[in-house]
Amino acid sequence: MSDTRGVLYLVPNTLDLGAPGAPPDLQEVLPLGVIRVAARLGHWIVENAKTTRAFLKRVDTVVPLAQPLQALSIVEMPKPQKGGASAKASTFDAAELLEPALQGRDVGLISEAGLPAVADPGAVIVAAAHRHGVRVVPLPGASSLLLALAASGLNGQSFAFVGYLPTDHAARAARIKELEALSRRLNQTQLVIETPYRNGALLAALVEHLQPSTRLSVSCGLTLVNGFSRTDPVSGWRARATVLPGDMPAVFSFLAG
């Protein structure tokens, strides 16, 4: 093994995965410096090889790839279960995926959307990099969670991302009320997400179970031309319903008064 380690670059992805229509110009959503780093990397650790290749094809239109796409090493992480790591994902040897970095070559880590290792299984790779003395360099890019929080007008000084809520109706209602009580006690914004086709169901549950005075914000399709953010008291959501698309990611935030 070489005494010189490579670097693990955390490469941000765009936020348009699965969104309808043509994706935005890559240079509109990622800094040119990030695109240049992505173009030169020959080794990748990814969530999904197919979507990573699609991302790299977009990179290639801006900065030509240093190697042909078919020559790149693109290795997928074990798939975690939604809402938490599966036994397989939590026990696999991440050092095996980092072998190129241990041998002195730079490696890119990329998520399906947004920043790797944030609401993302890539955190286990980053933790392994620290254990093995591999330098970790996060590159700047969009995070749907932080963009939604900034656009919400809710408390940005104290907030918590709690991921997915239960799909069972009773369990989901109980969790919403629990988080609302926590939000009220700590004056803390709560951020949750859902699979896009369940956006409407989650919004309906939040509007039903949150108190009328609680402020609820929805940010949908961030960085896309037709993306939007709306913040209103729950009473306002009840008075003026919004139909959410089932094919665009959304972030739901709320703050109890």
Provide, for the chain, the percentages of residues in helix, strand and coil under a 3-state DSSP scheme, each rounded to the nearest 5.
40, 20, 40
Instruction: Give the CA angle between residues 144, 146, 147 to the nearest 5°.
Output: 60
pLDDT the model gives residue 91 = 53
As a whole number of Å, the end-to-end CA separation of the chain is 57
So what's the pLDDT on residue 1? 43
Residues sharing a CB contact under 8 Å with residue 79, sequence separation 6 or more, in sequence order: 86, 88, 89, 121
Give backbone dihedrals phi and psi of 121, rounded to 5 degrees, phi first: -70, -10
pLDDT at 81: 55
Residue 88's pLDDT is what?
43
Length of the chain: 257
**pTM summary value:** 0.87
Q: Which domains does the chain have, with CATH numbers?
A: 7-138 (3.40.1010.10), 144-255 (3.30.950.10)
* DSSP-assigned beta bridge partners for residue 148: none
Compute CA distances 240 → 85, 148, 171, 230, whole Å.
38, 21, 26, 11
pLDDT per position in the chain (257 positions), as tens?
446 899 999 999 999 876 777 777 899 999 999 999 999 999 999 999 999 999 999 999 999 999 999 999 999 998 765 444 443 445 567 889 999 999 999 999 999 999 999 988 899 999 999 999 999 999 999 999 999 999 999 999 999 999 999 999 999 999 999 999 999 999 999 999 999 999 999 999 999 999 999 999 999 999 988 899 999 999 999 999 889 998 889 999 999 98
Pair 157, 237: CB distance under 8 Å: no
Q: Identify whether the C-beta of residue 255 lies closer than 8 Å to the C-beta of residue 215.
A: yes
Q: Which pLDDT score, from 0 to 100, does residue 202 have?
A: 97
